Amino acid sequence: MRKIILVSALVLVTLGLASCSFDSIFKKNPESNTLAGLLIEQPLDDQYSGSHLLMDDSGNVVTTLRSLSINLSSSKYLNNKVQVIGKVNLDDDVFEVEGISVLEVIDPTNSNREFVEYKNTDLGFRIKYYSDWEVSEVGNQVTFSSPSENEATDLDKIAIVQSPFQYQLPEVTSEDSSVVSTDVIDSTVVVEEPVAEPVDMAKEALKAYAEENNYANPDSLMRRVGIDKVDALKVDGTGDDTDYFLYRSGFIYKFSFISSKTTPIAENKNIFNEMLAEFQFMGFTVDDNGDLTEGATISEDTIDSEVIDTDTAETEPVSIEGMTTFESSLYHFAAQYPKNWYYAGTRGTDGQVLHHYGFSDESLEEATNELISLDVMSSTQADNQSVNGSMFIAYVNVDGRTYRISGDKEYKDVISSMAKSIVPIKEETPQVN
């Protein structure tokens, strides 16, 4: 006769059917239990009630299973190591499964789940999520819901919400500055101005947000998250609920794990942490009628420009490790731009420019912040690089379209790198599971 083994989070109890039964154990503890093991279908001639078996590493039966709401024979669960949550039906000693998650894929042929990328250029971020999670977009919120065979089941959720939050660094007055040293020379007092420390805009904005929302001691809540290790506030809620707050260019991003109130699954909190590690800010999509950045126009007849031979020009492009990818879904091209910079786009301001994109290391809410322009041209211009006064201008033709990249001469290397990085991309229809 096979042994039945009950596995809990703290103890492994081996039971002989002759001396003990599930009935005597679970009557003492009828509340929900969490069990783990290999899920297999129950043979038709099996002596136990139920539809499936949970096996331990030694091949012994942990318990028999059934579920009225979850398809235990689903390929993503069957023949894999799973964790189940539920209660034992005391009438026949069968474990009634209320929630299930995969702990380890034993049979890869039975799992079609992938870690795929999700991008939202309206909200300005990209992330990765598991393809068996459901994605919903409503206004300024994106929600990822954990998989379930029963649509009525309360699910674990991961939500990202963007909210406006304007913040400006306080101006430093003379009272705020400390004197480093003074010397008396011919009765004249000479004051050495202190060297200003670099200020982290995002961190200061998050501290202001914490103060506004009564989060005590924000320094202790600070974390570094995402691909780019950006500053974030971590605020723990009740149970497993957790919120991370990130700041970027006039917005707060709230990244939340919202656990189910009925059948929370421990694996989903790990998935939340995986997704948080993949979070990355990216550029915004601006409607053709948008006026986020007007951008400076460069007239073709302003003249006196020094033409540079692009084959012999001594430029040392920025290392690709310091760049990230920008994509235009409107004109179907991609280009590299400096990592951690911002970008925004708007319709062209003259007949020669179809669309204008501005790039800067600061927020582009102010047009004067723009450092580099990338224009999609309506007419063809030969590939060349030139200097016009203090401006460095590069034209490049890719897939039948001309692009103009321009900015101050000090950004010549960056502009050259951006021009060389432009590639066409295929038009694709976004797929949401």
pLDDT band at 340 (very low <50, low <70, confident <90, very high): confident
- Give the pLDDT confidence of 40-90 residue by residue, as tens digits: 887 765 666 788 889 988 888 888 998 877 778 776 788 889 999 888 888
Question: Is pLDDT of 320 > 90?
Answer: no
Rounded CA-CA distance 37/65 in Å is: 12
DSSP state of 430: -
Rounded CA-CA distance 164/209 in Å is: 11
361 in the same domain as 324 = yes
Please state the pTM of the whole predicted model. 0.45
The token pair at 146 is 């954990």
pLDDT at 180: 42
228 in the same domain as 88 = no
Residue 174 located in a structural domain: no
What CATH number has the domain bearing residue 136?
3.40.1000.10
Q: Which residues contact 43 (CB under 8 A, 6 or more apart)?
A: none
Residue 176 located in a structural domain: no
Question: Is pLDDT of 142 > 90?
Answer: yes
The most confident of the ranges 31-35, 312-316, 352-356 is: 352-356
Q: Which residues contact 57 (CB under 8 A, 6 or more apart)?
A: 38
Rounded CA-CA distance 142/148 in Å is: 19
Rounded CA-CA distance 314/396 in Å is: 17
Rounded CA-CA distance 373/296 in Å is: 8
146 in the same domain as 104 = no
329 in the same domain as 226 = no
Contact between 107 and 82 under an 8 Å Cβ cutoff? The reply is no
- Average model confidence (pLDDT) for the chain? 75
The token pair at 372 is 């580099």
132 in the same domain as 89 = no
Question: Is pLDDT of 229 > 90?
Answer: no
pLDDT at 319: 44
Q: Mapping DSSP to helix (H, G, I), strand (E, B) and coil, where does residue 138 land? A: strand
Nearest to 309 by CA among 386, 250, 232, 201: 386
Contact between 295 and 373 under an 8 Å Cβ cutoff? The reply is yes
348 in the same domain as 260 = no
What CATH number has the domain bearing residue 368?
3.30.200
pLDDT at 129: 93
Instruction: Please report, rounded to a whole number, the percentage of residues in the chain having pLDDT higher than 90.
Output: 26
416 in the same domain as 350 = yes
165 in the same domain as 124 = yes
Domain boundaries, position 322: 306-424
Nearest to 146 by CA among 161, 160, 134: 134
Rounded CA-CA distance 346/358 in Å is: 9
250 in the same domain as 124 = yes
Rounded CA-CA distance 284/290 in Å is: 11
Measured distance between the N- and C-terminal CA atoms of the chain, rounded to whole angstroms: 46
81 in the same domain as 143 = no
Question: Is pLDDT of 149 > 80?
Answer: no
DSSP state of 369: G
124 in the same domain as 99 = no
More confidently predicted of 221 and 365: 221
256 in the same domain as 135 = yes
Number of domains composing the chain:
3
Residue 153 located in a structural domain: yes
Q: How far does CA 413 lie from the centroid of its chain? A: 30
